[in-house]
């Protein structure tokens, strides 16, 4: 079984999702309410079981992964581990090729963790329960699939499959403007990925006759060939680099392609926001590291400063816009834009330290934003609004909630002792030699982050209770955190703190892979 | 002569079917409509199946018949098999849909004649055969459009006839120019023409342009597409479904015959061809781009499902036309592949539209799809499959079809093909919006009324089969690809 860890992790949720979907399609409407309820209750537990199962497999993969075997092109499978390799479509040379390295194993761990958190966060969903969990599980499966694929076609298929459940999850279970948000998300991402598709096909055909392949490792072996040919008189590698980058940049989301994100986040139900910010955004930066960096090392060096510039724009712009938000969820959505900017800056730094920082930031941001969105969901469930100025003095009413919010807010602004601090420190230290001016701007804008986070915390939790609002929204009757909410929040908080004090559990996994990647790109 | 006839058996069977129908109509009591209908459907189904059987069992023939007038090669045979499958599905649809199930013998005669015409278009080795085939398809099509319709059917039929007449007139003028230049109507001889010089180049360009008017009209390419939305809306839904795939596929067969005759030898290699000095790829590329944009941009605003699907089929024709510019074996395979997938997703979508129309006073407004997800979850999910497949999103077959079109375009990076692929991608993105509107109506919008939408078992099972085909081909398509690539052998 240990040979099929990656496939089982991906396909068990997929099949579970398809089975639940067929239940939803063929179940008769005339069943009594009670019967319906008991089945729905069962499906929740099944979904929890399946996500826990996959999470367990992700942990197993983490334990089995041997960080001493680092990325090396001259070995079989370039030292990817837990590899499975079969033919899929022989005439087109498409293979089912999966495997992990130090980068993807962490992303699998993050996906597993956040997907379990997501199921727990969706426990209260009452509407069309079967359809919800069916789509949720298919979404999870596609996310695992993206992180394990080593065949570009396979990668693309998983990448695109993710769109469909996401569209419905936002569009059916979302807020008042859900339809607009869902279609905007769908079209934005699809435009990007269609250009990526052209890039993939161009990569496939521009190998010598008989060597056409979608195999990412083989494409890496042909990096010099790609760098030497031209397309319409322009350098092939730079054009295709941009085509792929566009697809990934929309997902990150990079300024100016970020506008789908606030809409999607604000309209999406809490668990979907958690998945979106926790895992989905990381796919953009993961894709750049996995594909752009490895297949086009030269073009990547050419574009590194550009990535840094856009990273800094993301950081500053995201923070500025976050400061101006009145809606708490929108504020956190823009803080994600800002935090993903740090990842881009770290990636562009081209040193082992900055790269480690970037990937650690991906992981840590996944954990911390999941927590932030969960906390916003908690207050929204009770107050049915998220306007910052209408709160005030919540700490007096819900002390435990305020404490957890404190942890999350401070973790997000990069306070030492939390994972975000280590990540940002590594990014700044690592990127400083190559990107001095950008690092200085980015480091200064940490103040902006602190400002919008602290200011919003103060307005929501401190001060006196606003009597008129308390009357209107019944603040005084709010219960503090429930057991279910605690079960979600405690592991997230612990993870953020543990990584903050002992980042080695993460860094030791990826350091070898990322150092090798940096050497490969900068050689 | 008899051996010629042996190779023409598939068409002959259909012609005998026509003759039998006409003969029986003399002996059947006109008032016994039911008996007449059953008889005609039976003859049609038997003729089509027999013809299909003969074709499949002789799919490797590679001969010219009737003094080089027609070619019977694996490619034409593959197109004919495709036409006959479309026809079988359509006959079932005609017989079962409430809109058309009263149509009698004379209607089914038209279908068989159209089929013979389409098969002639696929086999043509002479400009005259092309023209004959085109007209044999067009004239019964005008009749089928207006068949026993009270409201806007006759208007659509007249529009169709006027457009068709004009386009084929222009086309035959183009043919006469080519005849004047080369001195023959035979495509093989034309392809060996080597008399280009600067004085007749302009004439060549004009004649190709005129030919394109005819091709463009048949596949509904801009700027010759204006008939199509009106015809699709005005005709009964089963007829529309048939038009959206059958004659369109025949149009592509004809275009491939005309343009590729010169470019591909029997073992699939490209050769420099007679038309290489005429910038026809640029002309076709321009038509492809205009077609994509007009189709997609016009579809955005439609509220009538049939009109929306009409514009969508214009856009899909645009994607396929863009591949015509490539002149490679891969291009022909990708067009065939796309047509096969398009057949299932488009006819499937029209079947669902007709079911919804039957339940809502024959109106095809998109608002009647509101809440279909909760009214009939099976129909809704199948429609969602078709819509996602038309968008070209994995894991549905439409995606694989698009991948093959793009691979054909990007196999050789010439400026024309690179730009065509970029435009095709932009258009795919635009198209998402209007397909997603259907999905939005079905799932994201609450039902506007409490009506129940349900349908007979055979509708459900055929739709389910189509949906499964679309899904399975999206995951594993090797068998289909192998069959189609073996078929790309031309005389």
Minimum Cα–Cα distance from B481: chain A residue: A91
- Arithmetic mean of pLDDT over chain B: 86
State the DSSP code for B152. Answer: S
DSSP characters over B50-76 = HHHHHHHHTTT--EEETTTTEEE-HHH
Answer yes or no: do B290 and B242 share one domain: no
The b-or-e profile of A346-361 (16+ CB within 10 A means b, else e) is bbbbbbbbbbbbbbbb
- What Cα–Cα distance (Å) separates residue A256 from each residue in A253, A286, A337? 8, 19, 11
CA distance B127 to B70: 10
State the DSSP code for B364. Answer: -
- What Cα–Cα distance (Å) separates residue B243 from each residue in A380, B87, B249, B343? 53, 10, 9, 11
CA distance B228 to B310: 6
Binary contact (A183, B440; C-beta < 8 A): yes
Please give, rounded to a whole number of angstroms, the shortest distance from the CA of B340 to a CA of chain A. Answer: 18
Q: Which residues contact A352 (CB under 8 A, 6 or more apart)?
A: A430, A511, A514, A515, A518
Tokens at A452, concatenated: 């919008």
Nearest to A22 by CA among A112, A141, A137: A137
Average pLDDT per run of 10 along chain A, which is 523 residues long?
A: 84 92 76 67 90 93 86 80 87 89 91 92 85 93 94 93 91 87 90 90 84 88 86 87 92 89 90 91 92 91 92 93 90 92 92 92 92 90 86 84 91 88 91 89 90 90 81 81 89 91 89 88 85
Of A90, A160, A191, the CB nearest to B429: A191
Chain B residues near residue A163 by CB distance under 8 angstroms = 393
CA distance A402 to A407: 9
Q: How far is CA A150 from the centre of its chain?
A: 19
Interface residue B477 vs chain A (CB under 8 A): yes
Answer yes or no: do B243 and B368 share one domain: no
pLDDT of residue B25: 80
Answer yes or no: do B235 and B283 share one domain: no
Question: Is residue B266's pLDDT more than 60?
Answer: no
Please report whether residue B270 resides in a domain: no
- Helices B33-57, B74-96: axis angle to 10 degrees equals 160
Binary contact (A201, B478; C-beta < 8 A): no
Identify the band that residue B268 occupies on the pLDDT scale cut at 50, 70 and 90: very low
3-state secondary structure of A88: strand
Q: Is A266 exposed, middle or buried (0-12, 13-18, 19+ CB in 10 A)?
A: buried
Binary contact (A91, B481; C-beta < 8 A): yes
Binary contact (B477, A232; C-beta < 8 A): no
Please report whether residue A124 resides in a domain: no
Interface residue B300 vs chain A (CB under 8 A): no
CB B124 within 8 Å of CB B133: yes
Mean pLDDT for B56-81 is: 85
Number of domains in chain A: 1
Please report whether residue B336 resides in a domain: yes
Answer yes or no: do B119 and B13 share one domain: yes
CB B226 within 8 Å of CB B163: yes
CB A131 within 8 Å of CB A179: no
Tokens at A441, concatenated: 């701007």
Containing domain of residue A439, as a range? 298-523
Helix, strand, coil shares of chain B, percent, nearest 5, are: 75, 5, 20
Answer yes or no: do B287 and B250 share one domain: no
Of B422, B429, B443, the CB nearest to A171: B443
Nearest to B390 by CA among B447, B419, B350: B350
Please report whether residue B91 resides in a domain: yes
Interface residue B450 vs chain A (CB under 8 A): no
Interface residue B377 vs chain A (CB under 8 A): yes
Question: At A83, phi and psi to the nearest 5?
Answer: -75, 140
Containing domain of residue B382, as a range? 279-491
Nearest to B379 by CA among B409, B349, B336, B342: B349
Answer yes or no: do B32 and B115 share one domain: yes
- Using the 3D structure, point to which of B254, B288, B304 is the last residue of a domain: B254
CB B367 within 8 Å of CB B441: yes
Binary contact (A205, B411; C-beta < 8 A): yes
Answer yes or no: do B245 and B195 share one domain: yes
CB B148 within 8 Å of CB B104: no
Minimum Cα–Cα distance from B434: chain A residue: A183
Mutate to test the interface with A, among B300, B419, B431, B444 (most CBs of A within 10 A): B444
pTM for the structure as a whole:
0.92
Answer yes or no: do B196 and B111 share one domain: yes
Please report whether residue B265 resides in a domain: no
CB A331 within 8 Å of CB A390: no
Please report whether residue B395 resides in a domain: yes
Binary contact (B399, A160; C-beta < 8 A): yes
Answer yes or no: do B88 and B227 share one domain: yes
Nearest to A383 by CA among A284, A300, A465: A465
Tokens at A450, concatenated: 């602190």
Question: At A95, phi and psi to the nearest 5?
Answer: -120, 160
Q: Which residues contact A396 (CB under 8 A, 6 or more apart)?
A: A465
CA distance B12 to B21: 14
Mean pLDDT for B422-443 is: 90
State the DSSP code for A292. Answer: I
Please give, rounded to a whole number of angstroms, the shortest distance from the CA of A175 to a CA of chain B. Answer: 12
Please report whether residue A230 resides in a domain: no
Interface residue B468 vs chain A (CB under 8 A): no
DSSP characters over A409-437 = HHHHTT-TTSHHHHHHHHHHHHHTTT-HH
Minimum Cα–Cα distance from A93: chain B residue: B478
Residues facing residue A94 across a β-bridge? A89
Identify the band that residue B358 occupies on the pLDDT scale cut at 50, 70 and 90: confident
Tokens at B391, concatenated: 């968008």
pLDDT of residue B455: 84
Number of domains in chain B: 2
Among all chains, which residue has been given the structure tokens 């579970």?
A: A16
Tokens at A219, concatenated: 């494409």
CA distance A255 to B140: 56
Of A92, A156, A232, the CB nearest to B415: A232
Helix, strand, coil shares of chain A, percent, nearest 5, are: 75, 5, 20
Answer yes or no: do B366 and B457 share one domain: yes
Binary contact (A194, B429; C-beta < 8 A): yes
pLDDT of residue B262: 46
User: Between A and B, how many residue pairs show a Cβ–Cβ distance under 8 A?
Assistant: 86
Answer yes or no: do B78 and B28 share one domain: yes
pLDDT digits (tens, 9 = 90+) for B95-143: 888 888 888 888 899 999 999 999 999 999 899 999 999 999 999 999 9
CA distance A485 to A495: 16
Please report whether residue B14 resides in a domain: yes
pLDDT digits (tens, 9 = 90+) for B239-252: 999 999 999 999 99
Nearest to A329 by CA among A402, A270, A252, A256: A270
Q: How far apart are the first and last CA of chain A?
A: 39
Please report whether residue A249 resides in a domain: no
Please report whether residue B215 resides in a domain: yes
pLDDT digits (tens, 9 = 90+) for B394-413: 889 999 999 999 988 888 77
pLDDT of residue B181: 86
Please report whether residue A487 resides in a domain: yes
Please report whether residue A267 resides in a domain: no
Tokens at B444, concatenated: 């994201």
- What Cα–Cα distance (Å) separates residue A329 from each residue in A132, A172, A370, A478? 22, 19, 12, 19
Q: Which residues contact A356 (CB under 8 A, 6 or more apart)?
A: A426, A430, A507, A510, A511, A514
Please report whether residue A391 resides in a domain: yes
pLDDT of residue A89: 85
Tokens at B32, concatenated: 């016994």
State the DSSP code for A465. Answer: -
Answer yes or no: do B318 and B181 share one domain: no
Please report whether residue A515 resides in a domain: yes
Among all chains, which residue has been given the structure tokens 């490539």?
A: B326
Mutate to test the interface with A, among B387, B390, B394 (most CBs of A within 10 A): B394
CA distance A406 to B78: 69
Among all chains, which residue has been given the structure tokens 């730009």?
A: B419
3-state secondary structure of A398: coil
Please report whether residue A458 resides in a domain: yes
């Amino acid at each position: 079984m240990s040979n099929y860890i990656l496939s089982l992790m991906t396909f068990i949720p997929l099949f579970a999702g398809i089975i639940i979907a067929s239940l939803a399609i063929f179940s008769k409407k005339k069943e009594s309410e009670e019967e319906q309820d008991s089945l729905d209750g069962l499906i929740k537990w099944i979904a929890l079981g399946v996500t826990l199962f996959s999470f367990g497999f992700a942990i197993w993969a983490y334990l089995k992964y041997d960080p001493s075997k680092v990325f090396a092109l001259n070995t079989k499978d370039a030292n990817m581990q837990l590899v499975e390799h079969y033919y899929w479509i022989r005439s087109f040379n498409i293979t089912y090729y999966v495997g992990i390295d130090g980068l993807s194993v962490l992303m699998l761990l993050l996906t597993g963790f956040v997907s379990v958190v997501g199921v727990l966060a969706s426990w209260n969903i009452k509407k069309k329960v079967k359809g919800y969990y069916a789509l949720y599980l298919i979404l999870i499966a596609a996310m695992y699939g993206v992180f394990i694929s080593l065949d570009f076609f396979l990668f693309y298929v998983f990448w695109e499959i993710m769109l469909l459940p996401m569209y419905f999850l936002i569009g059916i279970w979302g807020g008042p403007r859900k339809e607009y948000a869902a279609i905007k998300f769908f079209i934005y991402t699809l435009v990007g990925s269609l250009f990526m598709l052209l890039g993939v096909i161009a990569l496939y055909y521009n190998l010598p006759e008989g060597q056409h392949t979608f195999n990412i490792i083989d494409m890496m072996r042909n990096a010099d060939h790609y760098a030497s040919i031209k397309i319409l008189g322009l350098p092939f590698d730079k054009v295709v680099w941009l085509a792929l980058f566009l697809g990934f940049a929309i997902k990150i989301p990079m300024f100016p392609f970020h506008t789908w994100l606030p809409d999607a986040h604000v309209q999406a139900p809490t668990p979907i926001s958690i998945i979106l910010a926790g895992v989905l955004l990381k796919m953009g930066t993961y894709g750049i590291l996995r594909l752009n960096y490895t297949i086009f090392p030269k073009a990547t060096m050419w574009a590194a400063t550009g990535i840094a510039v856009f990273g800094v724009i993301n950081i500053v712009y995201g923070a500025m816009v976050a400061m101006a938000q009145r809606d708490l969820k929108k504020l956190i959505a823009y803080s994600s834009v800002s935090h993903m900017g740090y990842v881009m800056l770290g990636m562009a730094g081209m040193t082992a330290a900055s790269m480690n920082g970037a990937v650690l930031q991906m992981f840590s941001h996944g954990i911390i934003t999941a927590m932030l969105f969960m906390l916003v969901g908690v207050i929204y469930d009770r107050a049915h609004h998220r306007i910052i100025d209408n709160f005030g003095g919540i700490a007096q009413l819900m002390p435990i909630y305020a404490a957890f919010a404190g942890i999350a807010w401070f973790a997000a602004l990069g306070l030492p002792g939390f994972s975000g601090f280590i990540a940002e420190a590594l990014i700044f230290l690592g990127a400083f030699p190559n990107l001095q001016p950008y690092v200085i701007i980015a480091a200064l804008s940490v103040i902006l982050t602190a400002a919008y986070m602290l200011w919003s915390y103060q307005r929501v939790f401190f001060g006196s209770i606003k009597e008129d609002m308390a009357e209107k929204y019944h603040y005084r009757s709010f219960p503090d955190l429930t057991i279910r909410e605690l079960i979600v929040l405690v592991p997230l908080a612990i993870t953020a703190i543990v990584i903050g004090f002992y980042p080695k559990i993460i860094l030791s996994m990826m350091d070898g892979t990322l150092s090798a990647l940096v050497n490969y790109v900068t050689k | 002569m008899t051996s010629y006839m042996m190779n023409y058996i598939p068409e002959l069977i259909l012609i005998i079917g026509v003759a039998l129908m006409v003969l029986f109509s003399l002996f059947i009591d006109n008032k016994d409509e039911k008996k007449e209908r059953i008889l005609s459907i039976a003859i049609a189904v038997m003729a089509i199946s027999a013809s299909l059987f003969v074709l499949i069992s002789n799919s490797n023939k590679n001969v010219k018949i009737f003094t080089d007038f027609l070619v019977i090669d694996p490619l034409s045979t593959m197109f004919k098999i495709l036409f006959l499958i479309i026809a079988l599905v359509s006959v079932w649809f005609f017989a079962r849909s409430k809109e058309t199930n009263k149509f009698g013998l004379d209607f089914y005669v038209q279908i068989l004649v159209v089929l013979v015409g389409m098969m002639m278009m696929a086999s043509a080795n002479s400009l005259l055969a092309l023209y004959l085939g085109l007209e044999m398809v067009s004239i019964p099509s005008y009749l089928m459009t207006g068949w026993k319709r009270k409201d806007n059917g006759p208007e659509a039929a007249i529009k169709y006839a006027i457009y068709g007449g004009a386009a084929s007139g222009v086309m035959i003028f183009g043919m006469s120019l080519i005849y004047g230049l080369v001195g023959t109507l035979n495509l093989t001889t034309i392809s060996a023409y080597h008399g280009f010089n600067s004085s007749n180049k302009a004439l060549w360009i004009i004649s190709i342009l005129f030919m394109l008017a005819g091709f463009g009209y048949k596949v509904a390419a801009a700027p010759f597409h204006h008939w199509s939305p009106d015809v699709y809306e005005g005709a009964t839904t089963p007829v529309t479904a048939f038009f959206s795939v059958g004659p369109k596929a025949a149009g592509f067969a004809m275009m491939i015959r005309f343009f590729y005759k010169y470019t591909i030898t029997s073992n699939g290699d490209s050769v420099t061809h007679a038309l290489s000095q005429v910038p026809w790829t640029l002309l076709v590329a321009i038509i492809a781009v205009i077609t994509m944009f007009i189709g997609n941009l016009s579809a955005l605003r439609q509220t009538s499902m049939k009109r929306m699907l009409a514009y969508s089929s214009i856009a899909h024709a645009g994607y396929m036309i863009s591949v015509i510019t490539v002149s490679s074996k891969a291009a022909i395979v990708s067009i065939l592949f796309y047509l096969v997938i398009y057949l299932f997703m488009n006819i499937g979508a029209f079947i669902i539209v007709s079911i919804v129309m039957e339940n809502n006073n024959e109106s095809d407004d998109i608002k009647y799809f509101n809440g279909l997800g909760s009214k009939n979850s099976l129909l809704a999910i199948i429609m969602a499959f078709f819509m996602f497949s038309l968008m070209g999103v994995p894991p549905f077959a439409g995606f694989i079809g698009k991948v093959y079109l793009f691979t054909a375009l990007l196999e050789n990076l010439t400026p024309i093909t690179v730009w065509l692929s970029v435009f095709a991608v932009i258009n795919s993105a635009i198209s998402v919006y209007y397909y997603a509107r259907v999905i939005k109506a079905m799932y994201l919008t609450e039902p506007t009324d409490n009506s129940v939408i349900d349908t007979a078992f055979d509708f459900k099972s055929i739709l389910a089969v189509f949906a499964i085909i679309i899904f399975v081909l999206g995951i594993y398509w090797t068998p289909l690809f192998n069959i189609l690539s073996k078929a790309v052998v031309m005389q």
